[in-house]
Amino acid sequence: GDSVTQTEGLVTLTKGLPVMLNCTYQTTYSPFLFWYVQHLNEAPKLLLKSSTDNKRTEHQGFYATLHKSSSSFHLQKSSVQLSDSALYFCALRDNTNTGKLTFGDGTVLTVKP
Amino acid sequence: VTLLEQNPRWRLVPRGQAVNLRCILKNSQYPWMSWYQQDLQKQLQWLFTLRSPGDKEVKSLPGADYLATRVTDTELRLQVANMSQGRTLYCTCSAETGGLNYAEQFFGPGTRLTVL
């Protein structure tokens, strides 16, 4: 079945530095990848989405490029802010009509002053 | 704009007692409705997707048993039974995609369940 791997459980950075959160996936179908962000005591919210190979997608200063050759969809930002502190999930969409999302374990990003 | 309402928002559940959750869709353009659970370790897991009124599904997972029902075009219900560990249940919705399964899912605010 589908699977998503996020290798970092916790990332701590100082404000203004760049960040990359890793995401790799396994699927036998054409992939649809998403990044969701969950702030404390809130529901997950969509941050980025992509199904196009080698095309960068951007939103709110975050960006990611789907690379089918390496089965990766890493999340990046050039300069993190205090408000970026949150839990980040990479997710893979099921290719059937169930719409099932398979989530990685999540990465907690903590930004310090 | 709020697409989904969930109630209750939180509930204390005595061990062995079942609880019923509701999710109300506010925009009919997103008719695919699903349930996800988030455990205490923050792991997110898909439970069900129900599209049509009358659809029902059951599932047993470690820590809880579930029965989901699509009651109407705008209402989705979830019964949680035999819960042994707390969790948060999220309702989601997504657009009618036709042959292209490329649609983001919008999350409701969630219902947090705590075992007494």
What is the tens place of the pLDDT at every residue in B32-81? 999 999 999 999 999 999 999 999 999 999 899 999 999 999 999 999 99
pLDDT-above-70 percentage for chain A = 99
Q: Please give the average per-residue pLDDT across B72-91, as a whole number.
A: 97
Confidence of residue A31 (pLDDT cuts 50, 70, 90): confident
Please report the pLDDT score of residue A107 as a whole number: 98
Interface contact B107-A89, CB threshold 8 A: no
Interface of A with B (CB under 8 A): 32, 34, 36, 38, 42-46, 49, 51, 87, 89, 91, 93-103, 105-106
Across the interface, which of B46, B102, B110 has its CB nearest the CB of A100?
A: B46
Contact in structure between B9 and B112 (CB atoms under 8 Å): yes
The per-residue pLDDT for B99 is 41
**Looking at residue B96, what is its pLDDT?**
73
The percent of residues in chain B predicted with pLDDT above 70, rounded, is: 94
pLDDT at B100 over 50: no
CB contact under 8 A, A99 and B32: yes
Cβ-Cβ contacts under 8 Å, B76 against chain A: none
**Cβ pair A34:B108 closer than 8 A:** no
